[in-house]
A = this chain, B = another copy of it.
Amino acid sequence: MPIIETIPNVSDGRRPDVVARLVAAVGATPGVRLLDHSSDRSHNRSVLTMIGDGPALKQAILALYEAALPLIDLRSHRGEHPRLGAVDVVPFVPIEGVTMAECVTLAREVGEAVASRFGVPVFLYEEASANPARKNLEDIRRGEFEGLTAKMASPGWAPDFGPATPHPTAGASVIGARLPLIAYNINLNTDRLDVARRIATAIRHSSGGLRYVKAMGVMLEDRGIAQVSMNLTNYEKTPIHRVFDLVAREAARYGVSVLESEVIGLIPAAALVGAAEHYLQLERFGPSQILETQLRSPSS
C-alpha cells in the first residue's frame, strides 16, 4: 500500500476544544493514521501529522475543512506566524511506494475539491506548482490574510482553483507536494557564534549556498558551543553528506572543527542510506538490496 504523509497547518492554537474537534474529524476518517498533533499558543496555530493512501487523505483533509470553517474566523485571528487561511497550508509528502508525481496529482485533486466544495481559493505550491514564481511558500503567503484581497487582484496572483477573491472568513489555502523536511544541526567545537553565523551564510540558499538548505547560526548557551541550525528541504537534490562536508570545510577556514551533528525529529531512511553510499563509495547499489525492503515486498 502506498504511504503518503500530510501535515495540515491550521490557524488555531489557543482553543483546545476547537483543536480537539479538528483532530476528531481527521481521526474519524477510515484508513488515516494520525501520528501527531501539536498547538502553539504564540503562533496561534496547530499542526496535524497523518499518513494514509491518497483517497483516505483526501477524505481526511475535506473533513478537516468541514470542521474548521465554521470554527475559525481569520478576521479575528492573531498570532506570530504568517498565515493566509483557516486551513493555511496542506503539503503532501511521498513516503513509500508512491512517487512525487502522484502526490502532485493528489494535491491538485484536493485543491480542486476544496475550492469547489467550500469556495476557498487555493494556491498550489512547491512541486505541485507549475509556476516558478509560486513555488515558495513564503512568497505565496507574503502579505498574509490582511493583504490577500489586494494581492489576488494583482497580476500573477489569481488562484489555481476557486474564486478570484478570498473566502470572507477562511481566506485562502496553500496546497502542494514536497519531500520530507529534515531538521539537521551541526555543532561546532567552538563558542564563537560569529563562526556559526558565517558558515550559515555561506551554505544557505538565500545567501548563495546550496539550493535546498535553510540555515542560521545559534548559540547553545548551556553547552557553550555554537551551532549551525538547518532545514534541508530536498535531501535528494541537496544530500545531507554534502551539507556536512561543506560545513566542515567552511569551519576549517576558521580553525574550527565539527564536534557532532544531530537530526531533530524524523529522517527518511533513504537520506541516511544515501550518506552511507557516498562515503563508502558504493556502486551498483539499490534499495532492493536492503534486507528490510525485501521483507516488505509482495511475496514472490
Structural contact, B269 and A292, CB atoms closer than 8 A: yes
> With contacts A35-B300, A272-B272 known, is A295 near B96, CB below 8 A?
yes
A299 beta carbon closer than 8 Å to chain B: yes
Main secondary structure of the interface of A (DSSP, over half): mixed
Query: A266 → chain B, closest Cβ, in Å?
Result: 5
Query: A53 → chain B, closest Cβ, in Å?
Result: 13
Chain B minimum-CB-distance residue to A49: B294
Chain B minimum-CB-distance residue to A186: B281
Q: Name the contact of A295 in the complex, choosing from B3, B275, B299 (C-beta under 8 A).
A: B3
Structural contact, B280 and A180, CB atoms closer than 8 A: no
Contacts of A267 in B (CB 8 A): 289-291
Name A277-292 residues within 8 Å CB distance of B. Answer: 277, 279-285, 289-292
Q: Name the contact of A33 in the complex, choosing from B262, B273, B299 (C-beta under 8 A).
A: B299
Structural contact, A266 and B282, CB atoms closer than 8 A: no
Query: A190 → chain B, closest Cβ, in Å?
Result: 15
Structural contact, B240 and A280, CB atoms closer than 8 A: yes
A42 beta carbon closer than 8 Å to chain B: no
Q: List 16 extra interface pairs beyond A35-B294, A51-B295, A240-B276, CB under 8 A.
A: A95-B291, A95-B295, A241-B276, A244-B280, A260-B282, A261-B283, A262-B282, A262-B284, A263-B282, A266-B291, A269-B269, A269-B273, A272-B272, A275-B275, A276-B276, A279-B279
Q: Which 7 A-B pairs have the closest CB atoms?
A: A275-B276, A272-B276, A260-B283, A279-B279, A266-B291, A276-B276, A268-B291
